[in-house]
Chain A
Amino acid sequence: MNTVPHAAPAPIASRPTMIEFRDVHKYYGDYHALRGINATIKAGEFFSLLGPSGCGKTTLLRTIAGFEDISSGAVLIDGKHMADVPANVRPTNMVFQSYAIFPHLTVEQNVGFGLRREGGTSAEKARRVEEALEMVGLKGYGKRAAHALSGGQRQRVALARALILKPKVLLLDEPLSALDKKMREQMQVELIRLQRQVGITFILVTHDQEEALVMSDRIAVMFEGQIAQLADPETLYRRPNSRQVANFIGVMNFLPARVLTEAAGRIAIDVQGLGQTEIDATQAPGAITGGETSVGFRPETLTMLYEGQTTTERETPGTIEEVVYYGDMTYYDVRLDGVDSPVRISMRNVFGRPVLDIGTRTRVAWSAGALVLFR
């Protein structure tokens, strides 16, 4: 093969720490916006803060930038306490949600805004501006007026303006939310490429779980001022530690369950409709309290069996209640026998597989390994 050898990046755990939150609290009057944030973000990591609006993710990002004072606790960047460090001397730069492009300046004046305080000749600075514009794919746009740009172009100017200063950390506050779907997907890929190219720590705030899954090395899911779970995308998706996280990321089916016994890393459970089964202790990422609880499973971990098909997995009969056709996929809501509410099953529409009708009796294959046990 003729590929360029590509050094695999060091695993995240072994990298030096770039940002550390130590029991960070933030009050706005009586409102407790951040409730004891503890987390470390590693150097060169693409880190996302994910959560619904009002969960405190933007506030947390702004404490890194220095736009928000914290009520108690500590924020450290590269080992240094940031308590008395104003925003303009922190080693961070930000891409604002509104992009905050200066409307009275041209594109190159915007990109070069932060260079005034740096040394070097004006020719050198002009060259750096040109390089930064080239990096974000805006070569030749320097003389344009800022207000004449499209949304995607403004975003690129904001990126170039921040990256030209070579910050230790780039903060991105919902940078893609103002773009249309196609543009957003294109920018996601470009941001990942850019982050690998410059090697800077990126911290992204988003409410879009898909965006976070696609782009991040690790994600902190936040609810009501607290981090609910901090993990890599795959762990978050496959082993959410609470129903809340599971619901926020992708689609999750829930069924009532009861813990029977728990011994030697194995847990015996009785699930409504599925019956008795045994799962591994790693399938219960949250603490287990025993007794009445619930299990969750993703739509794609179930398979509908067609006439004459057999399976090595467990199977349970049910009736199709709803069919939603998506082209490449079909979603079925199936009520398993003996279950109160239907579960969602996604099936790829591979060639030769018919789409079934509402009311069809079917058998659903499932495996105990795909279940997640919640508190």
Chain B
Amino acid sequence: MEEKSWWDRFRRTEAFAGYTLISPTALYALLLLVAPLATILAYSFLTDGDSVTRLVWEFTFDNYITTWTQPIYRAVMMRSLSVSMMVTAVTVILAFPVAYYVSFHVAPDRKSLWLFLITIPFWTSYLIRVFLWKVILGYNGVINSGLTSLGLIDEPLTFILYNVNSIVLTLAHAYAPFAILPIFVALEKIDRSLLEAGQDLGESRIMTFWRVTLPLAMPGVVAAVLIVLIPTIGDYVTPQLIGGGKIPMIANLIQSQMLDQDNRPLGSALAVSAMLIVTVVALAFVLLNARFLRVKK
């Protein structure tokens, strides 16, 4: 009997077929995600050098100590968190009625058209969409010139651009479809007879929404919150363009450390710290909502 090597046997297993199928993606992820992340992690424990040496291969915790003790970094991190939480709150609260309307009030054969329309903003790049808000909100922008020509204001309003509110507005618009879609899916899954049952058992429409629809839509809401919160904490473009660089968020700070200041170890420590904070916030949110996520059909 012919003795087969483990490789020959392995080649015939289902696992091998599976690995083969995922290998291009896995390789891609390894090269472009894991490797850079590992590099950043390594950098964050090294010492900054001068403009010639760049990096000194000396292990240190100094970068983390600076990150977590310097008030400026803490302030920017807190701003990133609060902006992204505001964006999340605004986005999800505005997205829910849209998703509800499409799920409950749009005729079934028109739903796909509505979803298609909702995704239209994705047809242009994120950068252009953000820039368009600058055109709308700017000193000589659409709103100001419009109001001036109507004679409603004498001087352009300055409070509508280059502040936190305009950042929140821009990000909320950019992420709206990401919030609408998961909530829509959760609402679609609700058996309509449950809503009739709620009313049949004596509750008004509003109370039925509160006691039946909302709890059953929570998995979608939780997903929407995570999908909006996580990327907005690290958003770079909007604070740069809409905030005019005057209201940096954590990504802007990382960029400036990495490139402008040429302090890669500190920039890396900031990046790793930001990732940790996002992970903790996201996990805490999921745990808080665990009771909604247990619901099975």
Binding site for B on A (CB under 8 A): 65-67, 86-89, 92-94, 96-98, 100, 102-104, 113-114, 116-117, 147, 161-162, 165
Contacts and interface: CB of A to CB of B under 8 A. Distances in A.
B202 interface: yes
B215 A93 contact: no
Contacts of A94: 196-197, 200
Contacts of A96: 193, 196-197
B212 A102 contact: yes
Nearest to A97: B193
B297 A98 contact: no
Contacts of A88: 199-204
Given A116-B203, A117-B202, A102 B296 contact: no
Interface of B: 191, 193-194, 196-204, 211-212, 215-216, 292, 295-297
B202 A100 contact: no
Contact of A165 (B191, B201, B215): B201
Main secondary structure of the interface of A (DSSP, over half): mixed
5 contacts: A94-B196, A94-B197, A100-B194, A103-B295, A103-B297
7 nearest CB pairs, A to B: A114-B201, A100-B197, A100-B193, A88-B199, A87-B199, A104-B295, A104-B215
B191 A87 contact: no
Contacts of B211: 113
Contacts of A117: 202-203
A89 B202 CA distance: 6
Contacts of B197: 94, 96, 100, 102
Contacts, number: 65
A358 to B, nearest CB: 50
A94 B211 CA distance: 18
A35 B107 CA distance: 26
A264 to B, nearest CB: 54
B200 A65 contact: yes
Nearest to A103: B295
A159 to B, nearest CB: 13
A129 to B, nearest CB: 13
B196 A100 contact: yes
Contacts of A102: 194, 197, 212
A304 B197 CA distance: 53
B107 to A, nearest CB: 13
